[in-house]
Amino acid sequence: MQAVGLITEYNPLHNGHLYHLRQAKKLTQADCSVVVMSGNWLQRGEPALLDKWTRTQLALEAGVDLVVELPVFYATQPAHLFARGGVEILTALGCESLVFGTEHPELNFERLLTALPKTQAAFKHYNATYASQFNSALQQTTGVSLTHANDMLSFCYYLANQQFGEQLRLVPIKRQVAVHSDDEIQPASAFASGTAIRTAAMLKKWDQVQAVVPAQTLKQLQTQRLQTWDDFWPYLQYQLLTASVTQTHQIDQMAEGLEYRMKETVQAATSFEDLMTRAKSKRYTYTRLQRVATAALLQLTAAEVQTAQTHNYVRVLGFSPAGQAYLHQVKKHLSLPLYTKINKDLRLHGLALDYRAGRVYELVTGQSQDLYRHPLRVLE
């Protein structure tokens, strides 16, 4: 069996994702589709609107064959690390290709790789993000700047694929209509950004949402509890108020000096949005601050995240008969550990960070996320 891979968040699964999945199958003629999906905490530093099991069910109902979780120590990272975690898992699973959406698929991403400085020390400037530092180098070398989020992520897929021996055939496709950051659903359009859909769902504008998501997604949005940062604000506020500056400094992605800014701004902040507004500056972008906030909430230290990133794994969330057959085909040759559930030992060791992230998410949802949960199965 040949498998095509996709790296996703499905927050929530919408018509653009369906197009992506169908194009991936059409372009590659693969026997099986494998999705690496973020769990309950996402790349932009925010909680998933729907929990990972609901999103897995929606993915399987949409035609995905195998869903595996992108561990939290990669899922909540900047683009180059997010991409590295997903590509490593797809490579380990023996996928033949990776299909991804981008604003400009005509870009020669392989040529752009030559603009990357040979040493990662070039990206250690404390006062700028990885993306801005890379774009500066790229502009100087090629005259090209990757200003769109999915163009940068696409480049990072090429970089990660190079790091893991270029075993995946990379297939970029054009994103449909909606810009990633659009915050409104456009009339008479079948496509909308995840941002716009989440905004409309929280406002219960179901007539707008219905036009841009599958029926199963609409049903889940209307019936399930929807999580936002507002739900977790009291817990984050407590963490930042009670931790010492020394403790806060150890948090993952906490840049030099940011711990003082976070400690100061939380004193007067009245909500998560207020905290972000007070802390935001040219030096600290909103997304970067959200990732730091996520790490602080989950108490993810830089040391343990970096250690975990050297011990990636395959955590199965769900499969179809085809996905189960493919997993059976490749599992004896996996280069990464394979897990289908978290027991009491794994929650303290191999899967400790994902278990912690799930338990924090449970504080709001009340629904068990990990311990003894088995992969979901669907029948064709």
Q: What is the pLDDT of residues 298-338, one digit of tens each?
A: 999 999 999 999 999 999 999 999 999 999 999 999 999 99
Q: Report the alpha-carbon distance of residue 105 to residue 153 in Å, rounded.
A: 12
- How far apart are alpha carbons 351 and 339 in whole angstroms? 9
Task: Record the pTM.
Answer: 0.92
Neighbours of 301 (CB within 10 A): 16
CB 283 within 8 A of CB 257: no
Residue 47 is predicted with a pLDDT of 98
Q: What is the DSSP track for 309-359?
A: TTS--EEEEEE-HHHHHHHHHHGGG-SS-EES-B-TTTTTTTTHHHHHHHH
> Given 3.80.30.20, 3.50.50.60, 3.40.50.300, 3.40.50.620, which CATH number is that of 3-107+146-226+310-377?
3.40.50.620
**Chain-wide mean pLDDT for the chain?**
91
Q: Residue 233: in which H helix or E strand, if any?
A: helix 229-242
Confidence of residue 131 (pLDDT cuts 50, 70, 90): low
DSSP H/E element including 234: helix 229-242
Please identify which residue in the block is written with the tokens 């008969």. Answer: 321
d(CA 88, CA 336): 9
The DSSP output letter for 376 is: E
The pair of three-digit structure tokens given for residue 365, joined into one six-digit string: 């949802």
Of the two residues 149 and 56, the one the predictor is more confident about is: 56
Nearest-angstrom CA–CA distance, 202 and 187: 18
Residue 71: what residue type?
P
Residue-range domain boundaries for the chain: 3-107+146-226+310-377, 229-306
93-113 average pLDDT score: 88
User: What share of the chain in percent tops pLDDT 90?
Assistant: 76
**Range scoring the smallest mean pLDDT among 112-121, 200-209, 259-268:** 112-121
Q: Could you read off the pLDDT of 189-203 as tens digits, one per residue? A: 899 999 999 999 999
Residue 94 to residue 333: CA distance in whole angstroms: 9
Question: For the purposes of burial, counting CB atoms within 10 Å of the CB of 235, is it exposed (0-12), middle (13-18) or buried (19 or more)?
Answer: middle
| Closest C-alpha among 347, 348, 349, 350 to residue 369 | 347
Q: How far is CA 138 from CA 79, 107, 145, 162, 275, in A?
A: 16, 13, 6, 18, 33
Q: Is 42 helix (H, G, I), strand (E, B) or coil?
A: coil
Helices (H), 46-148: 52-62, 72-75, 79-92, 109-112, 130-142
Would you say 161 and 84 are in contact if contact means Cβ atoms under 8 Å apart? no
CB 32 within 8 A of CB 323: yes
Does the CA dihedral 41-44-46-52 come out positive or negative?
Answer: negative
Q: How many CA atoms lie within 13 A of 52 on its CB side?
A: 35
Tokens of 102: 């981008």
What confidence category does residue 181 fall into, taking pLDDT thresholds of 50, 70 and 90?
low
Q: Is 128 exposed, middle or buried (0-12, 13-18, 19+ CB in 10 A)?
A: middle
- What are the backbone dihedrals phi and psi of residue 236, each rounded to the nearest 5 degrees, phi first? -65, -45
Q: Range with the lowest mean pLDDT among 53-57, 118-122, 273-277?
A: 118-122
313 neighbors 71 (Cβ within 8 angstroms): yes
Among left, alpha and beta (phi > 0; psi -120 to 50; other), residue 372 is left
User: What tokens were used for 105?
Assistant: 């698929």
Mean pLDDT of 68-73: 98
pLDDT tens digits along 259-276: 999 999 999 999 999 999
Residue type, 201: A
- With CA atoms as reference, report the closest residue to 58 among 83, 30, 37, 89: 37
3-state secondary structure of 6: strand
